[in-house]
Amino acid sequence: MKVKTILMAGIITGGALLSCTQQSEKGKSGKSEIIGKSVPKIENGLMTPEVLYSFGRIGDVRVSPDRSKILYQVTYVSIQQNKTNPEFFVMDADGSNKKQITHTNSRESNPCWLDGGKKIAFLSNEGDTSQIWTMNLDGGDLAKLSEDEKGIDGFLFSPDEKKVLFVKNVTIKQPVSARYPDLPEASGRIIDDLMYKHWDQWVTEVPHPFVADVVNGKLQNIKDLLEGEPYESPMLPWGGIEQLAWSPDGKIIAYTCRKKTGKEYAISTNSDIYFYDLATGKTTNMTQGMMGYDTNPRFSPDGKYLAWQSMERDGYEADKNRLMVMDLATRQKTYVTENFDYNTDAIQWADDSRHIYLIACVEAKTQIFVADFLTKEVKPVTQGQHDYLSVALGGQGKLIAKRQSMSKPDEIYSVDIISGKATELSFENKDILDQLKMGRVEERWIPTTDGKKMLTWVIFPPDFDSTKVYPALLYCQGGPQNTVSQFWSYRWNMQMMASDGYIIVAPNRRGLPGFGQEWLEQISGDYGGQNMKDYFSAIDALAKEPYVDKNHLGCTGASYGGFSVYWLAGHHNKRFKAFWAHAGIFNLEAQYLETEEMWFANWDMGGPYWDKSNAIAQRTYANSPHLFVDKWDTPIMISHGELDYRILASQGMMAFNAAQMRNIPSRMLIFPDENHWISKPQNGILFQREFKRWFDEWLMPSSENNSD
């Protein structure tokens, strides 16, 4: 069925769209039913994996040019079909008149407003490749704008909508058959430089920005801004269309790029902001000499200034993310957040071209702030126990923002700029949330071994009774530089774990942003050091509470959190009765040579293990968890994805083999089709079920496996 037919059918049925369930995988026609909003079965008000995967997931949020409407994306999940499906909605800026405007099993994404809000443009993979489409808000006048063979990954229309900037992949590594035409079936890859793999893929293609004229509803005069160059823009693996921007007059395109390849790329984070002049074709490096990450350019509304995010030091991916502003007439740079000791993100110019809205995580809560780039003053707009994820200008003194917490998935809010009061608009998940009992989330400051205070979140089971005793799980954060903020996760969901009957202890140990640079930077070169003492401080403090069963403590985490689990397994002095490590580093020497982003290994580990004169590096490798397997004495569960090129699955397999050889009760869960994350719905459900089964076996007092 063609997209136009499906879209129009969805619009005609109107409200019926909102009651779509996932009861069966196929309709009468034999085709898969359109994946829509779920109606999960909820018993006793408790979260289950199936309920967790029933929430609608709000994605892109776009405010109309006149700020009267909000266009947004919601992704629905089908456990049966093992797929997700994004759809578009539109509502008035006050949350009224909400309508679903697409109803397909194609993947719609990257929505934007056109023609003063009369039309929208978006990406759809109808026809197997992702292309740019346009349509009216009622589904009429549907048209396919692009016909690119490889497909398009993101786009931005010029301010006058006569041109479009888009991203697509270009080939930089030819297959073996290009060199040896007589070996067309040969599958080998010939590698002669670093950065041959990244995140979860072999690097044979990179994204490039292209610009084209829009003529009679089609793209013409297509130009590759990096034609003939092997560089990537946006930057892999996380960069998207936010790393590019149009100037207000449509004469300049700003793009983010790290113009390096091979080993030079693998050891450096030095990216820059480049200007491409459409009239002359000339490219200018606007941040020459700034040595760290420079990303996410934003032109001021009057076109006189450029704001962007900047890190100072090359090779340090967790450096402070500074807000910078450049006067484009004089090239003078202003370090706006010089007196603000926190990272900045999601920058948005105010209409006056002087103030900039942003989000920043401060003490494990992410709030909206406003910065005056002339005075360098940064003031909070919001407060409360939650995380804001995005911010956009609304009308009538309002901001439109996306927000989540440990107890609530993403929803869209209207925020009063003066008072900071937030009003929910989307209510996408209200019907599910109203049926669930969430555990209390407590903010606790715990003394550390070096005389500081550490914010630790304590999440209690629903219907918590302080006269009873509960097993507890220590949650170890990954990154290693990722705050344990008020995040909502579909894998490490605090309320999901608490609903299983556990008290969750989630410390913001050393090395996490949101507590100043000194706290953040302490971890680099100190793996196995103070941050591990912080973990012990957190769990020891909670173990003293009368409602915590100190004889039934568990520990879990992923990535650096998985490393933490492996390390703690050899040093915990019988504190814990069970461990679970996902995608963790087990052997640091192997990790140094297995990972792909060598800048991370060089900075955080201190350098290569063979440099015997490097005291920091030698201390790091002396703390490798594999060196302490002889001290392991506690059941351990290990999970890993085989498409993980950041931390190879061999790390998990080594740990499992070690446990087996030591006769430690152990189990392994391997995902052949997952990377560092777990993205497929049924794999996510499997992970949650096995997580509960493992810890219930060893931590619930009634377990026959338990021995005190």
pLDDT tens, residue by residue, 266-305: 999 999 999 999 999 999 999 999 999 999 999 999 999 9
Number of CB atoms found within 10 A of residue 621's CB? 23
- The pLDDT score that the predictor gives to residue 128 is 85
- The pLDDT score that the predictor gives to residue 280 is 97
- The pLDDT score that the predictor gives to residue 138 is 87
- The pLDDT score that the predictor gives to residue 703 is 53
What type of residue sits at position 704?
E
Cα separation, 489 vs 678, whole angstroms: 11
- The pLDDT score that the predictor gives to residue 589 is 98
Phi and psi at residue 391, in whole multiples of 5°? Answer: -150, 140
| Contacts of range 391-394, beta carbons closer than 8 Å, 24 or more positions apart | 391/346, 391/348, 391/357, 391/358, 391/359, 391/415, 392/61, 392/62, 392/63, 392/348, 393/63, 393/67, 393/348, 393/350, 393/351, 393/357, 394/63, 394/67, 394/93
- The pLDDT score that the predictor gives to residue 16 is 27
From the candidates 64, 271, 310, 559, give the one annotated as an active-site residue. 559
Q: How many CA atoms lie within 13 A of 154 on its CB side?
A: 16
Cα separation, 227 vs 327, whole angstroms: 29
> Token pair 């550490």 is at which residue?
454
Strands (E), 64-186: 69-78, 83-92, 99-100, 108-114, 119-124, 131-136, 143-144, 154-157, 163-171
CA quadruple 256, 260, 266, 268: dihedral sign: negative
Phi and psi at residue 490, in whole multiples of 5°? Answer: -100, 5
Q: Please give the helix or strand (H or E) that residue 615 lies within, else none.
A: helix 615-622
Q: Is 410 a known active-site residue?
A: no
Cα separation, 546 vs 93, whole angstroms: 49
Q: What is the pLDDT of residues 310-332, one digit of tens each?
A: 999 999 999 999 999 999 999 99
Under 8 Å CB-to-CB from 554, ≥6 apart: which residues?
A: 471, 472, 473, 474, 502, 576, 577, 578, 579, 580, 695, 698, 699
Q: Is 355 a known active-site residue?
A: no
Residue ranges for the chain with pLDDT beneath 50? 1-30, 704, 706-708
- For residues 293 and 309, the answer to whether their CB atoms sit within 8 Å is yes
Copy the structure tokens of residue 265. Answer: 């790329």
- The pLDDT score that the predictor gives to residue 23 is 34
Query: Which of 496, 511, 499 is CA-nearest to residue 559?
Result: 511
From the candidates 300, 534, 644, 666, give the one annotated as an active-site residue. 644
- The pLDDT score that the predictor gives to residue 139 is 85
Q: Is 193 a known active-site residue?
A: no
